């Protein structure tokens, strides 16, 4: 007891309250008066008899309500307990066994009363009856005065005399004495009970709250200012409820959660199960009705009751808010308990009467009125229940209504967006939050998602293990959870949990070392077969609840009251069916069955028999459930991993005896600990879920339950979510491989250009990339094993491992191909480089010869300058005579020449000019370019549509538009493959381009078999493509010309050669000349390497930091759609819809250019400077290493150059041929080292000053640009479009067989030109709505038979390759788009949105902001 008091003294108000509550629940005495431990006197004297033991015999002789010296673990000495007054109550049960017929409070002072006068004075004045244990006192003992005062007091007095052996004796005036000496405890106890019983009828009444009013004592709740203010605030709220009918309070004070909320829930369920031939119109009407309800909710007033609550919770004073909530919960319970008790009594009575009437053989006329009465009582019970959960439910509905109409309520004193934060704080503080509204049987998804968002914001995205609890009503679920985790779920028959509630339990740092989770989220439910739901509860509701909580939990406790499986067959069937659904959707929760109120939990044989019967019942229920779910399962273990020996726990009865005075059963506490260990063992082997996953999981679960096809809908939602997560990881894995290979490729390309290697072996590329590939494989393995959706992801493990392996092989093959091209280009370029080197050497020799004649004039800059100018002009003239110059190019002219050779008889080319050109990429229709083949079908259609030139359709336009995009992209690739910037232009490149275009057109004609292209289409397409790429050709040729045309090259190098000429004139040493030449030669390789490395680093940085590029392809598409909406450019939309790949590449290019322009100084330039410094460091290291080697080996300048170049071979393109003609005689390598080290910083500084946004992109080869690196990464994926609406398959892998094409969100079919056959009416329905309808479609314009949308795959071809899930999650984005660009779409397709294709009215309510926000919500 001293330990208890030590904890009590150290505790804050909340812990003290918790301690007192738990002591009371366990039928232990509570501290009433506690002396200050630092001022009290400690006495060691005592009487031989134990007062506490004597009182225990009066309250419950089998339980030690008051701790005493004879209890196990006690000692005779008291330290902190001396002078403490404890209190305990006896409450009669109404049976003959009661010790008293009245409620009696026993106060017990520990220690010698004579030493604790203040406590004694308080007790004697407040007590109804005084009981005193008197030792033998002498007449002169000072304590005799106090005894005399007892006798003078008119209150009843009972004296217990340890030295007397008399039985109960009345001394008159309600004064009694009882001897203790030589008497048995039972006799003494009976005498004392009798004396108290005689005194009770005439005794005064004791009120605990009056104690502090009459005495100078400190009361904890009054001393704590926060506690006091919290109580006052709670009382202020409660005063508003006074005088109101309890059954009408919620209707009056909480209007947002009543009729309107219930109507909205019903409409929402109807919305998810549309019927009829016009689903979009029906859905639109439902949404309009739901919005009207939300508007009515929004107009409903916020009562002062709720405003006071919000005000208190928004004060941001944690302790005060906590005290306020505690007091409010207590006062609400007090306010409702009496009325609820009466209602429950009436309910039980009526239920019993109905049961008797139902058993009678005749159809009693009294039965129906009684059933009606029961229904009314059930509703009254529902209306009269009022707690914190209803207040939070009201706040949740206020938030949802404001969120729906997107504005604050007038009478809401704070922004509605801050309401979820209040609920999140309550959860963190240990209060449960309602997850499912038990009255409406609905999950307020908007509110719950917002609260979880705030929870994530406050705690971070923590790992959570979800523990769900399911069982019949009043089976002890909440009591068990409260005992096990110290939770605050409402308990007792009068306060049964309604709906589902979740509460966070923080895992201690010590426990985190044993289990891989930060929190346990406990979900408690209202209970199956709840009697107070008799009027509204159905089996469907129970199935829904079971499926929801089992689907949400990583583990589910199935709580069963009793041992007989036959009494719980209904419950088990519901549970088994829910687990079977989990198996079908690839969720693998675990479960434990808890048998409550088992009479003998120690009987091993009985438990074995119970387990056997449970197993049999579960197997039986599995067979029944399998029939309903159309699933093959014979045994429960076929459905879920279940061990009947380990996963079944038996609980003793909670009370040891008959309440209200029965204490908890010690065995129950042992059972709680055993169950806790079982749960923690499951937690330790589970990866749990992240809070963000729980948020989406709740949404997906509930939305799937709202549909009629839960398994199909939820499985699809789960798989989409899991697959998206997998794709994000896949992007990371493949990017890390690409990034690693880019670095390898850079080094090898430098070595090839330097002549260090002459062959690139595939085995070598495998070996160097395998280092990164091993890391990726490890990351993949951990992801598939440890992710929260591991059981779902496992189906794709093998295929994605193969995909990553294939990507690795493709990267290696592509890299080898590129490097082989570099090898070929190096060989082709040898002649050009040799000529350039010969010219440079000749120039240096002549400059040196001239300089020797001018050494005496070395200090006259004007003479040197004039002489060099004259020499330079002569030199350039010589070069022009003997070396052919690089001419400008005209690829359009070359194309015309080639086309004339092919089409000699065609007059089109001769007539084609700039003014008459036809850019095929800008046409809206290609009907003039095709000739439809004549066959039976087209002939019949032509006969029907008289006057029509062709049966050519808009769909054909789209196919040709896709063909053009493909041809343009392929043509561009051909151009880039020739590396014109290095090798120059050749007319054969245009020949190759023409052959490619021709092959593509023939391939298209053969594939579709409907039409052929007219001859001039080939010419116009070729000319259009050449016009498109002309700038690229010219730009690359310009780079080649500057580098290889001798006049251009030497003109650019003039100042460098003048510098060398000056050095010759000044008599500089060979080391000085070579040093300067080396520094000059290093400039371009350094620049080229820096630009290339920076581009790769920039691509990696943008892949991480740029919002549009830091995820998978779906994330990129989201930002593309945002940009399109912001610009509202219809033509850009058409490009995106019909040529998505081209639009994606254009968007990535724009993002890169914008990033470079806006962040050049803070991101690009620092990278370039840093890499430049790294290159400078490497060059200096190479210089020093070369000098060291020459010293060690007594080498010369040739050895120095060889080692220097060798050390830079994988860093820069710089080889010995660059210095082949430079004399190295008498070169002092030490001086050479000094010159390079001294001159290099100046060169580096000059380079930095030349860096700019323009130069960055100009200096890069096309393939090395960051946008091309990112294009290769993002655009190597699936580009197949939905045959109905043109939505792009979002699969990140190009070849994702056997995974069908899919997209999270489809579009209205009218965007693609789909219309009702024989009309001009575009279709306004979404694909996902249509596949859930009874509508039919024609697979092609020529089709004569229709196919049901709900069986669309039977149309074969492209339709069979798609997975389109019936879904009502439609993006506001496309609704806004159709309304915003209705006229443009109608003009584009030459059709209208009318009649059958009428745009639903609800669509016009979506603003551009709604459209953009919907992308963030769903992508």
1203-1244 pLDDT, tens digit each: 998 888 888 888 777 676 566 777 888 888 888 999 899 888
Q: With 50 as the cut, is the pLDDT of residue 354 above it?
A: yes
Rounded CA gap, 64 and 57, in Å?
8
The DSSP code for 418 is G
Task: Look at residues 84, 71, 74, 80 and name the one whose alpha carbon lies nearest to residue 2.
Answer: 80
Work out the angle at residue 970's Cα, subtended by the Cα atoms of residues 969 and 972, and round it to the nearest 5 degrees: 65
pLDDT-derived band at 1310 (thresholds 50, 70, 90) equals: very high
Least confident of 186-190, 358-362, 470-474, 1072-1076: 358-362
CB of 595 within 8 A of CB of 650? yes
The DSSP code for 991 is H
Q: With 80 as the cut, is the pLDDT of residue 1067 above it?
A: no
One DSSP character per residue, 290-350 reads HHHHHHHHHHSPPPHHHHHHHHHHTT--HHHHHHHHHHHHHHHHHHHHHHHHHHHHHHHHH
Percentage of residues in the chain with pLDDT exceeding 90? 21
Task: Look at residues 737, 734, 731, 1372 and name the one whose alpha carbon lies nearest to residue 1113.
Answer: 731
Q: Within 10 Å of residue 872's Cβ, how many Cβ atoms?
A: 18
Least confident of 356-370, 388-402, 463-477, 753-767: 356-370
Percentage of residues in the chain with pLDDT exceeding 70? 90
How confident is the model at residue 642, as a pLDDT?
Answer: 85
Q: Hey, which bits of 630-767 come out as E strands? A: 648-652, 689-690
Taking the CA atoms of 1094, 1098, 1100 and 1101 in sequence, report the sign of the dihedral they define.
positive
CB of 690 within 8 A of CB of 462? yes
Task: Look at residues 29, 27, 30 and name the one whose alpha carbon lies nearest to residue 17.
Answer: 30
3-state secondary structure of 31: strand
Rounded CA gap, 1139 and 1289, in Å?
13
Q: With 50 as the cut, is the pLDDT of residue 535 above it?
A: no
Model's pTM, two decimal places? 0.73
CB of 1349 within 8 A of CB of 1333? yes
Q: Hey, which bits of 928-1031 come out as E strands? A: 930-932, 1011-1013
Q: 1381 vs 1250, which has greater pLDDT? A: 1381
Q: What is the pLDDT of residues 98-111, one digit of tens each?
A: 888 888 999 998 88
Q: Which residues contact 352 (CB under 8 A, 6 or more apart)?
A: none
Q: With 90 as the cut, is the pLDDT of residue 610 above it?
A: no
Average pLDDT of the residues in 1107-1120: 89
Rounded CA gap, 759 and 748, in Å?
10
How confident is the model at residue 606, as a pLDDT?
Answer: 63
**Cβ burial, residue 1182 (10 Å; 0-12/13-18/19+):** buried
Q: What is the pLDDT of residues 663-684, one digit of tens each?
A: 888 888 888 888 998 898 889 8
Average pLDDT of the residues in 429-454: 91
How confident is the model at residue 493, as a pLDDT?
Answer: 43
Tell me the angle at which helices 259-271 and 279-299 cross, rounded to the nearest 10 degrees. 160
How far from the centroid of its chain's Cα atoms is residue 797's Cα?
21
Rounded CA gap, 571 and 749, in Å?
71
pLDDT-derived band at 136 (thresholds 50, 70, 90) equals: confident
Least confident of 488-497, 1041-1050, 1315-1324: 488-497
Least confident of 212-216, 443-447, 998-1002, 1290-1294: 212-216
3-state secondary structure of 175: strand
Q: Hey, which bits of 819-908 come out as E strands? A: none
Rounded CA gap, 533 and 529, in Å?
8
Q: What is the pLDDT of residues 611-634, one digit of tens each?
A: 888 888 888 888 877 776 667 788
pLDDT-derived band at 1260 (thresholds 50, 70, 90) equals: confident
**Cβ burial, residue 514 (10 Å; 0-12/13-18/19+):** exposed
CB of 688 within 8 A of CB of 465? yes
The DSSP code for 1275 is S
How confident is the model at residue 42, as a pLDDT?
Answer: 31
How confident is the model at residue 213, as a pLDDT?
Answer: 67
How confident is the model at residue 780, as a pLDDT?
Answer: 92
Rounded CA gap, 1084 and 1185, in Å?
23
Residue appearing with tokens 């005060």:
320
Rounded CA gap, 51 and 65, in Å?
12
Rounded CA gap, 992 and 895, in Å?
11
Task: Look at residues 109, 108, 99 and name the one whose alpha carbon lies nearest to residue 186.
Answer: 99
User: For residue 947, which phi and psi values (nearest 5 degrees)?
Assistant: 85, -10
pLDDT-derived band at 538 (thresholds 50, 70, 90) equals: low
Using only C-alpha atoms, what is the Rg of the chain?
45
Q: With 90 as the cut, is the pLDDT of residue 391 above it?
A: yes
How confident is the model at residue 1184, as a pLDDT?
Answer: 92
How far from the centroid of its chain's Cα atoms is residue 375's Cα?
43
How confident is the model at residue 445, as a pLDDT?
Answer: 94
Rounded CA gap, 830 and 452, in Å?
66
How confident is the model at residue 948, as a pLDDT?
Answer: 33
Which whole-number Å values give the CA distances from 996 to 1000, 1022, 1164, in the listed order? 6, 10, 38
User: For residue 515, which phi and psi values (nearest 5 degrees)?
Assistant: -125, 145
Q: With 60 as the cut, is the pLDDT of residue 2 above it?
A: yes
Average pLDDT of the residues in 925-949: 56
Q: 844 vs 509, which has greater pLDDT? A: 509
Average pLDDT of the residues in 1010-1029: 85
Q: Look up residue 466 and give its two tokens.
A: 């979800």
How confident is the model at residue 1386, as a pLDDT?
Answer: 92
Q: What is the pLDDT of residues 800-842, one digit of tens each?
A: 888 888 889 888 988 998 888 888 877 777 776 777 777 777 7
Q: With 50 as the cut, is the pLDDT of residue 585 above it?
A: yes
pLDDT-derived band at 1270 (thresholds 50, 70, 90) equals: very high
Check residue 1315 and give left, alpha or beta (phi > 0: left; psi -120 to 50: alpha).
beta
Task: Look at residues 1311, 1329, 1363, 1399 and name the one whose alpha carbon lies nearest to residue 276.
Answer: 1329
Average pLDDT of the residues in 163-189: 85
pLDDT-derived band at 937 (thresholds 50, 70, 90) equals: very low
Q: 1189 vs 874, which has greater pLDDT? A: 1189
Q: What is the mean pLDDT of the chain?
A: 83
Write a three-state SS string for 1147-1198: HHHHHHHHHHHHHHHHHHHHHHHHHHHHHHHHHHHHHHHHHHHHHHHCCCHH
Task: Look at residues 1156, 1067, 1124, 1121 and name the one whose alpha carbon lies nearest to residue 854.
Answer: 1067
Average pLDDT of the residues in 901-911: 53
How confident is the model at residue 370, as a pLDDT?
Answer: 84
Rounded CA gap, 290 and 285, in Å?
9
Q: Cis (ω within 30 of 0) for the bond into 565?
A: no
Q: Look up residue 458 and give its two tokens.
A: 């406050």
CB of 463 within 8 A of CB of 475? no
Which whole-number Å values give the CA distances from 210 to 35, 219, 236, 873, in the listed order? 19, 11, 21, 117
Rounded CA gap, 1158 and 540, in Å?
59
One DSSP character per residue, 240-302 reads HHTTS-HHHHHHHH-GGGSHHHHHHHHHHHHHTS--SS-HHHHHHHHHHHHHHHHHHHHHSPP
């Amino acid at each position: 007891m001293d330990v208890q008091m030590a904890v009590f003294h150290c505790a804050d108000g909340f812990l003290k309250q918790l301690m007192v509550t738990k002591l009371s629940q366990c039928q232990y005495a509570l501290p009433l008066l506690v002396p200050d431990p630092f001022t009290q006197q400690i006495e060691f004297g005592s009487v031989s008899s134990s007062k506490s033991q004597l009182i225990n015999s009066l309250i419950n002789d089998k339980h030690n309500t008051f701790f005493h010296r004879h209890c196990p673990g006690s000692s005779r000495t008291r330290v902190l307990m001396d002078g403490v007054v404890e209190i305990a109550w006896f409450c009669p049960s109404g049976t003959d066994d009661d010790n008293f017929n009245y409620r009696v409070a026993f106060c017990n002072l520990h220690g010698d009363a004579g030493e604790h006068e203040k406590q004694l004075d308080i007790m004697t004045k407040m007590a109804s009856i005084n009981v005193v244990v008197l030792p033998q006192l002498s007449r002169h003992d000072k304590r005799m005065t106090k005894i005399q005062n007892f006798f003078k007091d008119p209150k009843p007095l009972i004296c217990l005399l340890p030295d007397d052996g008399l039985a109960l004796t009345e001394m008159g005036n309600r004064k009694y004495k009882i001897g203790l000496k030589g008497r048995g405890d039972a006799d003494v106890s009976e005498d004392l009970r009798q004396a108290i019983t005689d005194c009770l009828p005439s005794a005064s009444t004791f009120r605990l709250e009056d104690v502090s009013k009459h005495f100078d004592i400190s009361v904890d709740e009054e001393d704590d200012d926060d506690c006091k203010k919290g109580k006052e605030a709670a009382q202020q709220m409660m005063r508003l409820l006074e005088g109101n009918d309890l059954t009408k309070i919620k209707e009056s004070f909480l209007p947002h959660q009543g009729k309107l909320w219930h109507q909205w829930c019903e409409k929402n369920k109807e919305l998810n199960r549309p019927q009829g031939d016009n689903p979009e119109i029906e859905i639109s009407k439902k949404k309009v009705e739901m919005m009207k309800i939300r508007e009515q909710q929004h107009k409903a007033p916020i009562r002062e009751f709720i405003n006071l609550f919000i005000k208190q919770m928004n004060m941001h004073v944690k302790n005060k808010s906590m005290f306020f909530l505690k007091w409010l919960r207590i006062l609400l319970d007090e306010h409702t308990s009496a009325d609820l008790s009466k209602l429950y009594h009436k309910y039980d009575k009526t239920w019993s009467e109905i049961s008797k009437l139902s058993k009678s053989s005749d159809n009693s006329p009294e039965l129906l009125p009684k059933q009606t009465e029961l229904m009314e009582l059930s509703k009254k019970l529902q209306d009269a229940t009022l707690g914190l959960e209803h207040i939070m439910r009201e706040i949740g509905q206020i938030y949802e209504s404001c969120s729906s109409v997107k504005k604050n309520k007038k009478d809401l004193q704070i922004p509605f967006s801050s309401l979820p934060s209040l609920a999140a704080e309550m959860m963190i503080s240990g209060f449960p939050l309602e997850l499912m509204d038990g009255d409406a049987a609905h999950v307020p998804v908007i509110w719950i998602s917002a609260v979880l968002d705030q929870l994530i914001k406050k705690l971070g995205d923590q790992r959570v293990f979800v523990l769900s609890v399911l069982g019949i009503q009043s089976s002890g679920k909440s009591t068990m959870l409260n005992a096990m985790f110290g939770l605050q779920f409402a308990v007792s028959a009068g306060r049964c949990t309604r709906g589902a509630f979740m509460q966070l339990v923080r895992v201690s740092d010590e426990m985190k070392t044993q289990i891989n989770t930060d929190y346990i989220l406990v979900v408690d439910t209202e209970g199956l077969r709840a009697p107070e739901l008799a009027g509204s509860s159905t089996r469907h509701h129970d199935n829904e609840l079971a499926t929801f909580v089992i689907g949400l939990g990583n583990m589910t406790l199935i709580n069963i009251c009793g041992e007989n499986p036959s009494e719980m067959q209904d419950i088990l069937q519901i549970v088994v069916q829910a687990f079977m659904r989990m198996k079908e959707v690839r969720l693998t929760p675990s479960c434990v069955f808890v048998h409550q109120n088992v009479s003998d939990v120690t009987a091993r044989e009985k438990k074995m028999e119970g387990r056997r019967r449970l197993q049999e019942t579960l197997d039986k229920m599995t067979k029944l459930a399998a029939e309903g779910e159309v699933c093959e399962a014979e045994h429960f273990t076929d459905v879920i991993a279940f061990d009947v020996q380990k996963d079944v726990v038996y609980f003793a009865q909670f009370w040891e005896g008959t309440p209200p005075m029965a204490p908890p059963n010690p065995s129950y506490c042992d059972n709680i600990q055993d169950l806790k260990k079982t749960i923690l063992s499951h937690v330790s082997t589970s990866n749990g879920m992240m809070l963000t996953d729980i948020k989406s999981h709740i949404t997906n679960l509930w939305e799937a339950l709202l549909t009629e096809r839960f398994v199909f809908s939820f499985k699809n939602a789960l798989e989409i979510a899991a697959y998206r997560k997998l794709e994000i990881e896949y992007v990371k894995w493949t990017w890390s491989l690409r990034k690693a290979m880019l670095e390898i490729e850079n080094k090898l390309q430098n070595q090839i250009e330097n002549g260090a290697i002459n062959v690139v072996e595939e085995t070598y590329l495998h070996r160097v990339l395998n280092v990164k590939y091993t890391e990726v494989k490890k990351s993949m393995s951990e992801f598939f094993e440890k992710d929260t959706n591991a059981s779902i992801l496992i189906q794709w493990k093998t295929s994605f491992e193969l995909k990553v392996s294939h990507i690795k092989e493709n990267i290696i093959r592509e890299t080898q191909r590129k490097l082989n091209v570099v090898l070929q280009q190096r060989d082709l370029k040898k002649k050009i480089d040799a000529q350039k080197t010969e010219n440079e050497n000749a120039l240096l020799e002549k400059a040196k010869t001239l300089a020797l004649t001018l050494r005496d004039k070395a200090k006259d800059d004007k003479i040197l300058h004039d002489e060099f100018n004259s020499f330079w002009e002569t030199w350039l003239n010589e070069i022009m005579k003997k070396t052919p110059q690089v001419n400008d190019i005209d690829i359009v002219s070359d194309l015309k020449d080639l086309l004339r050779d092919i089409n000699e008889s065609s007059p089109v080319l001769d007539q084609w000019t700039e003014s008459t050109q036809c850019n095929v990429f800008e046409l809206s229709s290609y009907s003039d370019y095709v000739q439809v083949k004549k066959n039976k079908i087209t002939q019949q259609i032509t006969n029907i549509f008289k006057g029509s030139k062709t049966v050519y359709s808009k769909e054909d336009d789209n196919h040709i538009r896709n063909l053009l995009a493909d041809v343009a992209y392929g043509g561009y690739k051909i151009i880039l493959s020739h590396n014109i910037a290095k090798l120059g232009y050749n007319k054969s490149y245009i020949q190759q381009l023409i052959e490619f275009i021709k092959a593509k057109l023939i391939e298209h004609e053969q594939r579709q078999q409907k039409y052929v292209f007219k001859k001039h289409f080939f010419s116009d397409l070729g000319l259009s493509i050449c016009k498109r790429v002309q700038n690229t050709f010219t730009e690359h040729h310009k780079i080649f010309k500057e580098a290889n045309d001798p006049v251009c090259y030497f003109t650019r190098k003039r100042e460098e050669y003048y510098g060398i000429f000056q050095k010759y004139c000044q008599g500089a040493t060979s080391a000085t000349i070579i040093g300067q030449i080396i520094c000059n030669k290093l400039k371009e390789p350094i620049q080229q390497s820096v630009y290339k490395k920076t581009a790769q680093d920039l691509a990696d940085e943008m892949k991480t930091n740029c919002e549009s590029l830091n995820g998978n392809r779906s994330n990129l598409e989201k930002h593309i759609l945002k940009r399109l909406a912001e610009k509202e450019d219809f033509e850009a939309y058409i490009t995106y819809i019909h040529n998505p790949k081209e639009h994606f590449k254009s968007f990535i290019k724009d993002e890169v250019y914008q990033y470079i322009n806006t962040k050049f100084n803070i991101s690009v330039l620092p990278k370039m400077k840093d890499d430049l410094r790294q290159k400078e460091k490497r060059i200096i290291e190479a210089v020093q290493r070369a000098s060291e080697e020459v010293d060690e080996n007594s080498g010369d300048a040739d050895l120095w150059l060889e080692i220097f170049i060798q050390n830079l071979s994988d860093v820069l393109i710089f080889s010995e041929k660059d210095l082949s003609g430079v004399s190295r005689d008498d070169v002092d390598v030490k001086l050479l080292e000094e010159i390079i080290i001294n001159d290099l910083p100046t060169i580096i500084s000059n380079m930095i000053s030349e860096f700019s946004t323009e130069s960055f992109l100009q200096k890069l080869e096309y393939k090395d640009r960051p946008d091309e690196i990112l294009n290769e990464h993002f655009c190597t994926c699936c580009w197949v479009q939905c045959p109905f609406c043109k939505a792009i398959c979002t699969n990140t892998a190009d070849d994702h067989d056997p995974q069908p094409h899919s997209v999270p969100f489809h579009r209205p079919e009218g965007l693609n030109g789909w219309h009702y056959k024989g009309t001009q009416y575009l279709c306004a329905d979404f694909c996902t709505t249509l596949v859930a309808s009874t509508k039919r479609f024609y697979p092609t314009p020529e089709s004569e038979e229709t196919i049901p949308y709900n069986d669309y795959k039977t149309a074969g071809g492209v339709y069979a390759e798609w997975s389109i899930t019936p879904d009502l999650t439609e993006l506001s984005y496309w609704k806004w788009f159709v309304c915003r660009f209705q006229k443009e779409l109608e003009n584009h397709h030459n059709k209208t949105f009318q009649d059958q294709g009428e745009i639903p009215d609800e669509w016009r309510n979506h603003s551009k902001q709604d459209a953009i926000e919907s992308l963030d919500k769903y992508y």
